[in-house]
Chains A and B, each alone.
Chain A
């Protein structure tokens, strides 16, 4: 019945499409965040949507709804199977997380279940060690790992998330085996393990690592991205240090809608949302919070998703 209604609604929408898109949105829009309140994704989602109510943006506010659990699987499962595809339910995506999870299996979504709208941020993974660690470069880490195979412990926020992807890439590029310790409770718990000396190193978000370094708690040894970050101009990339690690682990955050959302609504969102992200108030708040921004339009995100799907399939094939 629900499908029938949805089908009828879509038919009606396509008939009156032009008019509907003209009027959309008529009421406040909801955006699902698959992580808890206070996390990096939630925090950034609240900032980038804060100007949605402006006349030059959507003209209607966007309300954030947190559906946390199982590294994002709960929220995205809900979004893929239960959310109405009418443009009034958006979701935040985290790449590579949801793509890696869909390749690994056990979830009800894949890149085909969603339509990207726009990207707002790109948070690369970085390798951190405690401030008093003997390691001063990735080379030191690799050397230690070669002498002690499988014994170099390093933390990250769970399996099949950006941190884990970066960990796999580093191990593969250096040809060493290390002990990746996934923590529960996200990047904060993984960072605590590094600072407290429970593990020898860790992969973490650039934004969180930047803050921890400001507080004098960690050293940042390398950035898993194609270029150095504006926040950390002194930290070399993995490539510069001879490790063949590309940007596959960079945590891209953006907005998507469920498959089946009327094309007119997608077009309207794809035209407005990137402009909304470029608002100067948004940019200054993101800058203040140490969150790197990267605004991409719908076509660019589609290309990025497709490329990530390929890389991750190859990387995760052996696991």
Chain B
């Protein structure tokens, strides 16, 4: 309960101003395509040079929390996921916005972000020592199986058929091998100098999600009939809260999955949203509604990606090991003030540690309030005529892809992937499994190579990858996931085939 003692520090005038500024600024940065949470925090580090350690960290903590949530704004309204964390949000969120329910989608996303986020920070406050051991339990073999578990999700994610989903996933896995391989330094598929660093994930996200949409909008614009105006429906915050309470399953699965996955160093942040989305879909009796503007999809994805924020800091704060790129940047922010995370932080600088954690807690609430406030206005974006919208999204896409590392190469990559995806979508392929392949490929590969090197030097591949309780548990989950997908694919063909036909006719 030590943390309560330090709440006062968060409310001193300067600290609170920084918290407010960090939250609002973070939401705006997060909503800007191409500015990932990592980059937003890195941009703020120089400002903390002039501040005291505690105040600097308040700014960074608030910005981290709200950039993750802010990514939902562009994901929902523009179908540009600001970071890998927001991919799952686009699936239902953007569909809702197109149906005129943008305000509802945004309100739900901020409310569930706050619920997930607060749960995550509370975990960080109360369970840090236990969680630290858990984070260390994942070695290369376990991370490899985690990545394979992710691959099994690919087939069932947002695709017309499992086969097409798996094919998209394979393309993603192949794309992830492009560039210098990180361990051996071998060159693979570098046809053009801008591919040397591999496909940048943010540029790929923008290309795969936003560009097909832009092309479709331009194509539609040619026949005047398509220039329909979407009636944007107002939606009260109270209704959104009621909706959230009516959907405890999505909220729980999202929050729990996000917290657990967020802990695993190097994997968490990127896939938490997608795994939670997939799990919710599998457990939902209305699974066929997902991808068509179902509110559970938004709730699961957003509660998961904010729940991951707190636990993802556990390895950093206790062991001084940054578990994610954003945590690495935060480490820099601590070091610059001469504070070493680990026991030194909690024993000798408790005011810094707890003020930082408290500010993330208060930051979640501020983020939610401010987010709800802007949701109503922001949703009106959907009323913008399609031709104008297409131009704006295109401009933002180019800006976003370029700003990742000030490189035109990333813009070319974005454009090529986007045009490719436009044609793929016509044949029923979808971007989400492809992106998941792109994210999981390097994780599976690097951990397999590393694991096999350790295995060859010690007890051999079989014992290393198949032995041990955690390995076996993960393998069982992988098999269960495959079996479940196969069963779901086969079952409706027998039972629901007639029903589908009648539906198709209407």
When distances are taken between beta carbons in the complex, the residues of chain A under 8 Å from B197 are: 67-70, 74
B328 adjacent to A38 (CB under 8 Å): yes
B185 adjacent to A160 (CB under 8 Å): yes
- Chain B 118-143 per-residue mask, 1 if CB under 8 angstroms from chain A, else 0: 00000000000000000011011000
Q: Is A104 an interface residue (CB 8 A)?
A: yes
A37 adjacent to B325 (CB under 8 Å): yes
A259 and B484 CA atoms in complex are apart in Å by: 60
- Chain B 328-346 per-residue mask, 1 if CB under 8 angstroms from chain A, else 0: 1111100111101111100
Known: A65-B405, A70-B180, A217-B342. A185 touches B329 (CB 8 A): no
Q: Tally A-B pairs: CB < 8 A.
A: 168
A151 adjacent to B457 (CB under 8 Å): yes
Q: Is B370 an interface residue (CB 8 A)?
A: no
B340 adjacent to A290 (CB under 8 Å): yes
Number of residues from A at the complex interface, CB < 8 A: 58
Report the minimum CB–CB distance from A121 to chain B (whole Å).
14
Q: Is B322 an interface residue (CB 8 A)?
A: yes
When distances are taken between beta carbons in the complex, the residues of chain B under 8 Å from A192 are: 136, 265, 315, 319, 321
B180 adjacent to A211 (CB under 8 Å): no
Report, as a range, how many residues of chain B touch the other chain: 35 or more
Known: A37-B42, A216-B342. A50 touches B196 (CB 8 A): no
A214 and B193 CA atoms in complex are apart in Å by: 43
Q: Is A150 an interface residue (CB 8 A)?
A: yes
Q: Is A179 an interface residue (CB 8 A)?
A: yes
Q: Is B420 an interface residue (CB 8 A)?
A: no
Query: Which B35-89 residues sit within 8 Å CB-CB of chain A?
Result: 38-39, 42, 45-46, 49
A215 adjacent to B454 (CB under 8 Å): no
Q: Is A36 an interface residue (CB 8 A)?
A: yes
When distances are taken between beta carbons in the complex, the residues of chain B under 8 Å from A74 are: 179-180, 196-197
Q: Which residues of A contact B (CB under 8 A)?
A: 36-39, 42-43, 46-47, 50, 65-71, 73-74, 77-78, 81-82, 101, 104, 106, 150-153, 158-160, 179, 181-185, 188-189, 191-193, 195-196, 198-199, 211-212, 214-217, 285, 287-290
List 12 additional A-B contacts (Cβ < 8 Å) besides A70-B185, A181-B453.
A37-B38, A68-B197, A71-B185, A77-B193, A82-B193, A153-B458, A181-B457, A198-B454, A212-B319, A214-B340, A217-B342, A288-B335
Closest 9 CB pairs of A and B: A215-B342, A70-B180, A69-B197, A288-B338, A38-B328, A179-B457, A38-B329, A74-B197, A37-B42
Q: List 21 A-B contacts (CB under 8 A).
A: A37-B42, A38-B329, A39-B328, A67-B197, A70-B185, A106-B187, A151-B458, A179-B456, A179-B457, A183-B183, A184-B182, A192-B321, A195-B319, A196-B136, A196-B139, A198-B140, A212-B321, A214-B344, A216-B343, A217-B342, A287-B338
